[in-house]
Amino acid sequence: MGYRCVIGLEIHVQLQTESKMFCSCSANFFQAEPNTNICPVCTAQPGALPVLNRRAVEYAVMTALALNCRVNEYSAFDRKNYFYPDLPKGYQITQYFHPLAENGYLVIEDDEGIPKKVRIRRIHMEEDAGKMFHQGDSITMSTYSLVDFNRCGVPLIEIVTEPDISTPSEARRFMEKLRSIVRYLGVSSGDMEKGALRCDANISVVDESTGKSSSRVEVKNINSFKFVEKALEYEYSRIVESLKAGEDVGTETRGWDLATKTTVSMRGKEEESDYRYFPEPDLPPLILSREEIEDLRKMLPELPDERKKRYEEQYSLRAYDASIIAERKEVAEYFEECVKLYGKPQTVANWIINEVLRELKEEEGIPLAPENLVRMLKLLDSRKISTKIAKDIFPEMFAKNLNPEELVKERGLEQTSDETLIENLVRKAIEENPKTVAKYKAGKTGVVGFFVGYVMRETKGKANPQLVNEVVRRLLDEA
Ligand code: ADP
Ligand code: ZN
Ligand code: MG
């Protein structure tokens, strides 16, 4: 009998609108100097009133629809009261009693690769807080904190899942799938490292022999996909150890500590805040008509799952390859562009998966024009270059968007089918390696590879490998 892991996520997604949620300040807080994108509304000056950003609502609804939620025609805003210096109003505007959307799901793969539904309990809109910068030296006690209100009032949605996630790696895949979807929708950068996608993970462990569950622990401050998995693995083992010792971890909130790669206690249950939620009197309810909601549904682009299916059907890609290509919109579009120019979808897919994705940096576009990748595939088809040369020149060609035809000419990389040259090299190898030849004669045909390798080295990968193979076998047989 083992232990079963139960995980539910609470995720914040920053919406990439031009302006903030309730005022016309720029929501692009990253490039700005601290406290320059602020106004009386987002710094809570007396008498300032919020006005809801339409685009933020549209982005929130689109995300909810993409996550198969029912979008409510009636939702409303509430105040969540707490004090912290990055929250000038002393409350956050959120949706508590009447969320924007409910009852959705996202399909992910479980650890065996079988699709499973993770139910989404609710999605609501809320505003982000400012940012604190803690400075100074805690030993000399000369500490102080700075606050930047640029992020204050940037629109967020919070997505709350049911506890349907069964392993830490499923939790990571959930987050990755969500990132893929918000990027396809264009509603968020989905960038966890920059805080545009943040997640609090709740975990408990059930002892299957008794059916009893541990208390639930919440891990906050997880800021990368890798750490979602790492933090939950750490927490899972910690809870299992405590259960084995006949104890319980107790309900608490922990934070992921990057330095020690462990979670550390932030607060116990008894310190739980009381937020004193009540309806926001300064904003009317958010009323959406069915038509408005359906119009937004029509605006949804083809999403990664549909695209994957289409690639399997239309291009006969292998399921795994199709899912890798479809995961990132710019990769998928690149793939389609290349196929349009060249055909042979599986060949294009192989090159994208093995070479393009290896070179591609997470946050950058693909520098290599589809035309240049296709030129290279054609050079391979016509045997003008060997696969080895193609792979050798690929990183540079990719980064600088070089035309491979010119590159190959400039550097003299054309494949050679000069039979005399190849024969001479093979003869030399045979002369220098009588013992290896003897092995061949004794039936060890695997040594052919040794002689082929020799010629390829001597020609710096330019010899036509099929021809080298033929010549090696012929001359070995004659030897
Ligand atoms: P609370 O009201 O205490 O915040 P919720 O029911 O709102 O609890 O759930 C908050 C999050 O915790 C949700 O993401 C949910 O999936 C998750 N959760 C609920 N129960 C469990 C559990 N037993 N183990 C792990 N996560 C859970
Ligand atoms: Zn403002
Ligand atoms: Mg809750």
Q: Which residue has the tokens 């910068």?
A: 133
Residue 74 · residue 133 · CB < 8 Å: no
Q: How far is the centre of ligand 2, averaged over its atoms, from the C-alpha of 55 (Å)?
A: 16
Q: Which amino acid is at 406?
A: E
Closest residue to atom 11 of ligand 1, CA basis? 8
- Provide CB contacts within 8 A for 189, sequence distance 6+: 14, 16, 183, 196
Closest residue to atom 17 of ligand 1, CA basis? 8
Q: How far is the centre of ligand 3, averaged over its atoms, from the C-alpha of 30 (Å)?
A: 29
Q: How far is the centre of ligand 3, averaged over its atoms, from the C-alpha of 161 (Å)?
A: 10
Q: How far is the centre of ligand 2, averaged over its atoms, from the C-alpha of 24 (Å)?
A: 6
Closest residue to atom 3 of ligand 1, CA basis? 216
Classify burial at 143, counting beta carbons within 10 Å of its beta carbon; exposed 0-12, middle 13-18, buried 19 or more.
exposed
Q: How far is CA 236 from CA 7, 12, 217, 247, 266, in A?
A: 10, 23, 10, 14, 17
Q: Give the mean model confidence (pLDDT) for residues 275-303.
A: 96
For residues 190 and 186, give the distance between their C-alpha atoms in angstroms, rounded to a whole number: 9
Which stretches of 342-477 are assigned E, i.e. beta strand? none
Long-range pairs for 289-293 at CB < 8 Å and ≥24 separation? 289/73, 290/73, 293/61, 293/65, 293/71, 293/73
Pocket probe mutation, ligand 1, options 123, 165, 216, 272, max atoms within 8 Å of Cβ: 216
Pocket probe mutation, ligand 1, options 202, 214, 232, 252, max atoms within 8 Å of Cβ: 202
Least confident interval from 232-246, 259-273, 283-297, 338-352: 259-273
Least confident interval from 215-224, 233-242, 266-275, 395-404: 266-275
Alpha helices in 140-223 (DSSP H): 168-185
Q: Nearest ligand to the C-alpha of residue 163? A: 1
Q: How far is the centre of ligand 3, averaged over its atoms, from the C-alpha of 114 (Å)?
A: 29
For residues 387 and 260, give the distance between their C-alpha atoms in angstroms, rounded to a whole number: 44
Bridge partners (DSSP) of residue 403 are none
Q: Which atom of ligand 1 is nearest to the CA of 204?
A: 24
For residues 88 and 35, give the distance between their C-alpha atoms in angstroms, rounded to a whole number: 13
Rounded (10°) CA dihedral 274, 275, 279, 284: -170
* SS3 label, residue 214: coil
Q: Nearest ligand to the C-alpha of residue 40? A: 2
Task: Tell whether the model's pLDDT for residue 260 goes beyond 90.
Answer: no
Domains of the chain: 3-292 (no CATH), 304-411 (no CATH), 419-478 (1.10.10.410)
Residues with CB under 6 A from ligand 1: 6-10, 160-163, 202-204, 216
Residue 279 · residue 76 · CB < 8 Å: yes
Q: Nearest ligand to the C-alpha of residue 162? A: 1
Q: How far is the centre of ligand 2, averaged over its atoms, from the C-alpha of 40 (Å)?
A: 6
Q: How far is the centre of ligand 2, averaged over its atoms, from the C-alpha of 50 (Å)?
A: 9
Q: Give the mean model confidence (pLDDT) for residues 122-126.
A: 98
Average pLDDT, the chain: 92
Q: What is the pLDDT of residues 460-475, one digit of tens each?
A: 878 888 888 889 999 9
Q: Which residues sit with Cβ closer than 5 angstroms to ligand 2, an ion?
A: 23, 25, 39, 41-42
Q: What is the pTM of this model?
A: 0.86
pLDDT of residue 1: 65
| DSSP string computed for 234-300 | HHHHHHHHHHHTT----SEEEEEETTTTEEEEEEEGGG------EE-TTS--EE--HHHHHHHHHTP
For residue 208, how far is the Cα from the chain centroid?
A: 33
For residues 143 and 131, give the distance between their C-alpha atoms in angstroms, rounded to a whole number: 17
For residues 218 and 269, give the distance between their C-alpha atoms in angstroms, rounded to a whole number: 10
Q: Which atom of ligand 1 is nearest to the CA of 164?
A: 16
Closest residue to atom 15 of ligand 1, CA basis? 8
Q: How far is the centre of ligand 2, averaged over its atoms, from the C-alpha of 178 (Å)?
A: 29
Q: Which amino acid is at 22?
A: F
Closest residue to atom 19 of ligand 1, CA basis? 163
Q: What are phi and psi of 343, to 5 degrees?
A: 80, -155
For residues 37 and 144, give the distance between their C-alpha atoms in angstroms, rounded to a whole number: 23
For residues 24 and 53, give the distance between their C-alpha atoms in angstroms, rounded to a whole number: 8
pLDDT band for position 374 (cuts 50, 70, 90): very high
Q: What is the pLDDT of residues 15-61, one digit of tens each?
A: 999 999 999 999 998 788 999 999 999 999 999 999 999 999 999 99
Q: What are phi and psi of 375, to 5 degrees?
A: -55, -40
Q: Which atom of ligand 1 is nearest to the CA of 162?
A: 16
The 278-279 sheet, strands edge to edge: 91-94, 78-81, 278-279
For residues 461 and 390, give the distance between their C-alpha atoms in angstroms, rounded to a whole number: 10
Closest residue to atom 23 of ligand 1, CA basis? 204
pLDDT band for position 420 (cuts 50, 70, 90): confident
Residue 37 · residue 46 · CB < 8 Å: no
For residue 232, how far is the Cα from the chain centroid?
A: 18
Closest residue to atom 13 of ligand 1, CA basis? 8
Q: How far is the centre of ligand 1, averaged over its atoms, from the C-alpha of 429 (Å)?
A: 69
Q: How far is the centre of ligand 3, averaged over its atoms, from the C-alpha of 227 (Å)?
A: 22
Mode of pairing for the β-strands spanning 252-257 and 262-268: antiparallel
Closest residue to atom 6 of ligand 1, CA basis? 162
Residue 331, Ramachandran bin (φ over 0: left; ψ between -120 and 50: alpha; else beta): alpha
Neighbours of 289 (CB within 10 A): 9
Torsion sign over Cα 225, 228, 229, 234:
positive
Q: Which atom of ligand 1 is nearest to the CA of 9?
A: 14
pLDDT band for position 335 (cuts 50, 70, 90): very high
C-alpha angle 62/311/176, rounded to 5°? 50
C-alpha angle 162/167/173, rounded to 5°? 80
Q: How far is the centre of ligand 3, averaged over its atoms, from the C-alpha of 96 (Å)?
A: 10
Helices 54-66, 168-185: axis angle to 10 degrees equals 130
Least confident interval from 192-206, 315-329, 432-446: 432-446
Torsion sign over Cα 428, 429, 430, 431:
positive
Q: Nearest ligand to the C-alpha of residue 24? A: 2
Task: Tell whether the model's pLDDT for residue 478 goes beyond 90.
Answer: no
Q: Which atom of ligand 1 is nearest to the CA of 202?
A: 26
Q: How far is the centre of ligand 1, averaged over its atoms, from the C-alpha of 132 (Å)?
A: 28
